[in-house]
Amino acid sequence: MSGIKDFIDNEVKNNDVVLFMKGTPGFPQCGFSGQVVQILDYVGVDYKGIDVLTSMELRQGIKEYSNWPTIPQLYVKGEFIGGCDIIREMFQAGELQALFEGKGVATKAA
């Protein structure tokens, strides 16, 4: 499992915004992942989507990495932010946009 943990660690630390999801941003395979994609696209932030369906090891590994049992999972500047419910609540409260701003991540309409 150390290999997959290093892979995840590397992705999370070398990309400002990373979404571990089922499917791809262009073709989400799960409604929860799709909701987060829509929100990130609306906010207009650049992010990297990583499809956990491509690897059983990755799908299990990300749950252990964050100690979080479900997917999707959003990371910003190395920090785990939350899953679908949390991202949606933060977005609706304007907190997600503020988080990106606070961390110096460019958005479309700041």
Q: Please, how many CA atoms are within 13 Å of residue 80, restricted to the half-sphere of its CB?
A: 17
Q: What are the contacts of 39-44 at 24+ separation with CB within 8 A?
A: 39/87, 39/88, 39/91, 39/96, 40/74, 42/91, 43/91, 43/96, 43/97, 43/100, 43/107, 43/108, 44/107, 44/108, 44/109
Least distance from another protein to the Cβ atom of residue 68, Å: 7
Listed ranges 4-12, 41-49, 68-76, 96-104: which one lies at the site for another protein (CB under 8 A): 68-76
Decide: is 3 part of the binding site for another protein (CB under 8 A): no
Under rule CB under 8 A, residue 57 binds another protein: no
User: Exactly one of 7, 11, 16, 30 binds another protein (CB under 8 A); which one?
Assistant: 30
- Choice from 29, 78, 108, 110 touching another protein (CB under 8 A): 29
Nearest to 84 by CA among 100, 102, 69: 69
84 known ligand binder:
no
- Minimum gap (Å) between residue 38 Cβ and another protein: 16
| Subset of residues 77 to 96 that bind another protein, contact rule: CB under 8 A | 80-86, 89-90
